[in-house]
Structure 1
Amino acid sequence: MLKVDMHVHTCYSADSALSLENLIKACQNMGVNCIAVTDHDTIKGAVRLQEIAPFRVIVGEEIRTLDGEITGLFLKEEIPPNLSAEETFSRIKAQGGLIYIPHPFSFFRREAIYIEKLHELYGHADIIECYNGRNFLFFENRRAINFTLERKLAMGAGSDAHHQCEIGNVFIEMDDFNTKEEFLAGLKKGRVVVAPYSRRIGSFMIEAFFFLVWVKIFNLFRKKYT
């Protein structure tokens, strides 16, 4: 049985401080034995982690498009940002990847896919993220679940970790797989595990602290050198 986190960022994302070494340790500590690394606009971290991790790593990329973010899974090549959603879908499929829509109903994320585009293109997607570890408003995940169930699509789930403490906040228990087709089939029969709200909000507060420290340091340097 696998414990799969489908949405993880590493230090190869500009907004993440999670080193590959610390990511491996965190996964081992939490018993997570399969992750999709979905760094922003790059697969370099995923490819590198795949080489050194003692567990399964799915190469993914969270891609900025003109219509909001779209994730490709099981990728072989990087997909550039700032394309249309349609072109991004096409490039994911051209290399045999799966189309995964992250945090579609997140209230505070401007980068989420535009709702009208989601309604237009959902039939071409393979997976909708229904459980995101950084969705803290009760209706965000619920809307994604209802949307996905009504359209009989596969449900995805992930911590959306940017820091070590977020690993294990959300994962899916599912059967092992050898191909992306088996992964998709296993996903539909899997069981989502979500950490208590107190743990998830605690992880968020830790990130907020580090963000404020970074802003303070940035402002000090800006005042000194401008």
Structure 2
Amino acid sequence: MLKVDMHVHTKYSADSALAVERLFSACVDKGINCVVVTDHDTIEGALKAGETAPPDFKVIIGQEIRTLDGEITGLFMKEPVPPNLTAEETIRRIKAQGGLVSIPHPFSFFRRESIYKKKLYELYGQVDIIECYNARNFLFFENMRAIKFAKERNLIMGAGSDAHHQCEIGNMYVEMDDFATKEEFLANLKKGRIVMTDYSRRVGSFMIEAFLFLAWVKIYNLFRKKYT
């Protein structure tokens, strides 16, 4: 049985300082034995992880690609796809090398880099996986909207921590059967079980409370300025 964190970053992403060695030590500590390394606009970190992975540990080469229409993730990549192409061309290049197409955090409220909703509704037929469980989405409806979208269209759902730091590894993952090919990966992912750790729940609850508090402060200040 595999425990797959489908969205992790390393120091090869500009917004992460996580060394590949620390990625593996965190995975071992949390029982994760398969990761999709999805650095921004590069597969360099994923390739290094694949070359240095511990025994019985699986690394899927991924890339979170910045497009003109928002981010798209490729899995089972053989070569990087350059950023700033259209979503259509990005998908074409992923599939041309035998990769799978995943949409990361599609309904994230605060991330400007998420795919444009109009484009998502246009292109979902070319998508293999919707990331329905992202541990960095702290508003409950962000993941819920993705789940609803995927279920209504019979799309396969994925889950990942979106880890940029060691402590985030494994906050969300999928328990699934082992695989030898990308086709087996998809089939087993569809039957897999999504796991959200207690730590992830606590962080999510804290962030929701913080968001509500800041919203209350903003509303309070607006009323105070208006009526005093």
Structure 1 and Structure 2 fold alike (TM over 0.5): yes
The Cα shift of 1:200 comes to 5.2
Cα displacement string for residues 40-69 of structure 1 (whole angstroms, at most 9, x for unaligned residues): 000000000100011100000000000000
Supply the AA of the counterpart residue of 2:34. Answer: C
Given that 1:169 and 1:199 are in contact with CA atoms closer than 8 Å, whether structure 2 keeps it comes out as: no
Give the distance between the partners of 1:109 and 1:20, measured in 2 at CA: 25
Identity, % of aligned pairs? 71
* Residue in 1 that maps onto 2:221: none
Give the distance between the partners of 1:12 and 1:139, measured in 2 at CA: 30
Q: Which runs of 5+ in 2 are unaligned?
A: 208-228
> Mean alpha-carbon deviation: is it higher for 190-199 or for 63-72?
190-199
Cα displacement string for residues 83-142 of structure 1 (whole angstroms, at most 9, x for unaligned residues): 000000000000000000000000000000000000000010000000001000010000
* Residue in 1 that maps onto 2:140: 138
- Whether 1:186 aligns to 2:164 is no
Give the distance between the partners of 2:80 and 2:133, measured in 1 at CA: 25
Using a 3 Å threshold, how does the CA distance of structure 1 residues 201 and 161 change in structure 2: closer, same or farther? farther
- Whether 1:198 aligns to 2:202 is yes
* Residue in 2 that maps onto 1:9: 9
State the superposition RMSD in angstroms: 1.1
Using a 3 Å threshold, how does the CA distance of structure 1 residues 98 and 129 change in structure 2: closer, same or farther? same
The Cα shift of 1:174 comes to 0.1
Q: Which runs of 5+ in 1 are unaligned?
A: 204-226
Given that 1:159 and 1:170 are in contact with CA atoms closer than 8 Å, whether structure 2 keeps it comes out as: yes
- Whether 1:60 aligns to 2:65 is no
Using a 3 Å threshold, how does the CA distance of structure 1 residues 195 and 106 change in structure 2: closer, same or farther? same
Given that 1:8 and 1:161 are in contact with CA atoms closer than 8 Å, whether structure 2 keeps it comes out as: yes
The Cα shift of 1:17 comes to 1.1
Given that 2:4 and 2:174 are in contact with CA atoms closer than 8 Å, whether structure 1 keeps it comes out as: yes
The equivalences for 1:46-85 within 5 A come to: 46-54=46-54, 55-85=57-87
Larger radius of gyration: 2
Give the distance between the partners of 1:195 and 1:31, measured in 2 at CA: 12
Give the distance between the partners of 2:28 and 2:206, measured in 1 at CA: 20
Given that 1:43 and 1:60 are in contact with CA atoms closer than 8 Å, whether structure 2 keeps it comes out as: yes
Given that 2:43 and 2:63 are in contact with CA atoms closer than 8 Å, whether structure 1 keeps it comes out as: yes
Give the distance between the partners of 2:204 and 2:164, measured in 1 at CA: 12
Cα displacement string for residues 179-208 of structure 1 (whole angstroms, at most 9, x for unaligned residues): 0000000000000001232145679xxxxx
Given that 1:169 and 1:200 are in contact with CA atoms closer than 8 Å, whether structure 2 keeps it comes out as: no
Q: How many residues align?
A: 203
Given that 1:6 and 1:159 are in contact with CA atoms closer than 8 Å, whether structure 2 keeps it comes out as: yes
Supply the AA of the counterpart residue of 1:162. Answer: H
Supply the AA of the counterpart residue of 2:13. Answer: S
* Residue in 2 that maps onto 1:119: 121
Aligned residue for 2:148, secondary structure, equals: helix
Give the distance between the partners of 2:61 and 2:136, measured in 1 at CA: 21
Given that 2:139 and 2:204 are in contact with CA atoms closer than 8 Å, whether structure 1 keeps it comes out as: no
TM-score by length of 1: 0.88
Give the distance between the partners of 1:189 and 1:135, measured in 2 at CA: 23
